[in-house]
Structure 1
């Protein structure tokens, strides 16, 4: 599209891309590049006692490609040190500041309560994964009959022992599940003193036995990280613990706002 066509195309007019809702308070300037515009600025747009982190975008829809999603995340991460935020999902846009105010202003008190709940707290992602070779050795040691059956089946041709192989697979899965539950409960007890709220996340593979997001008091985050490091160090080569922190609190406050109709605003706080 040429420049003249763009000027006459409503879809090409500048709109506001919305990253998050925050308190209307002094903040460190955000130097992270805007979504879909590496040279674009992100700024704070005041709305009463609240404010929105926004940038300009000329167009109708932002493509959900990796570079844009990363830009969205980096803006949120850059804003985290300045206090609590209610992060928006990727791709939220509004026509102008007036539209922004129509959506946010009617729910100012509700949004302030959500921000108060997050004040001084951070979200931490924790994933625990076994070393596959070591865990299989442990399972066979705990269930020697599985090893014996497995060795016997290895000596058979591919077409033999069909039902025995199915039965072995079920028993192995049961042994893994039992071990996963026991070790997840052990790690959970270790984390409990730090947790304000928690949300279990999907496990990515069989060797991942614990994947969670926890909301913790910000002043306890260093102690949590140190404790997790100690937990991992007593199981060298057997366990890999990955900690991601701090991250925007997507898992603990989900704000659903109807950006297309300012009079109809819905909020949802996750448990």
Structure 2
């Protein structure tokens, strides 16, 4: 029977899972598969597995429980293997790699930061700081501008917005970097101009969070500063 794989830990991890359940309806019991010094937390895989809310939450609860007691390599939702032997074989084949990752994650957790800039506030800032944009905007709004000027205005505003967003994103990351062991920048989605994950050591967590609060206060209401964590270190596995 197919096996659903939640995460990988060391063999000596407490793996306190008695009051948790796995994915599926009815929920599948959790168990472990051990190979050498490594252990995988698994359950039977439901035949109709989909990203239902109850299953995503069950998957996440396993990760959060494990990370309280030691380093864990969290696998993304939906990872399956043919059977327990296939899981055991993967642990054996990649033992050195998994052990190194677990060592790197010891005493650290992930924080994810997403930042967006309120569109009208950004436009106001561009109009205030760019003479060229201001002149083109005045001509367009007064009716004295040409169609070419309207196109040029749109292109210039887009360029100015991107430049400011990139500069602010770089400044935010630079301010938080001293308190993180590693970082992983992802492509932002929607209105966000920054989507970055940090691997934060436990003894740096207080300074990291304090710096995040300070940055959010400096940005004010113009920007939405969304810092989430501590999280399972998906971005660093």
Aligned pair 1:172/2:157, yes or no? yes
Residue 245 (structure 1) aligns with: 229
Q: Which has the larger radius of gyration?
A: 1
Query: In structure 2, what is the equivalent of residue 74 of structure 1?
Result: 61
8 Å CA contact 1:24, 1:51 repeated in 2:
yes
Q: Does 1:213 align with 2:197?
A: yes
Give the structure 2 partner of residue 203 of structure 1.
188
Structure-to-structure mapping, 1:28-43, within 5 angstroms: 28-29=16-17, 31-37=19-25, 39-43=27-31
CA distance in 2, matches of 1:133, 1:37: 47
Q: Tell me by how many angstroms 1:54 deviates.
A: 0.9
Q: In structure 1, what is the Cα distance between the partners aligned to 2:101 and 2:176?
A: 24
SS at match of 1:234: helix
Indicate whether 1:129 and 2:113 are aligned. Answer: no
Q: Which moved more, 1:123-132 or 1:38-47?
A: 38-47
- Structure 1: where are the runs of 5+ without partners? 1-13, 254-271
Query: Any idea what SS the aligned residue of 2:116 has?
Result: strand
Aligned length: 236
Q: Is the 8 A contact 1:30 1:78 kept in 2?
A: no
Distance apart, 1:105 and its partner CA? 1.8
Cα shift at 1:246: 1.9
CA RMSD of aligned residues (A): 2.4
TM-score normalised per structure 2: 0.87
* Distance in 2, Cα, partners of 1:210 & 1:113: 29
How far 1:91 moved relative to its partner?
Answer: 2.2
Match of 1:44 in 2: 32
In the TM superposition, what is the alpha-carbon distance from 1:195 to its structure 2 partner?
A: 2.2
Q: Determine which structure has the larger helix proportion and give its number.
A: 2
Deviation digits for residues 111-138 of structure 1 (CA, Å, limit 9, x no counterpart): 1112111111111111122233322211
TM (norm. structure 1) is: 0.77
Partner of 2:97: 110
Q: Contact between 2:180 and 2:208, CA under 8 Å: does it hold in 1? A: no
1:154 Cα deviation from its structure 2 partner: 3.1
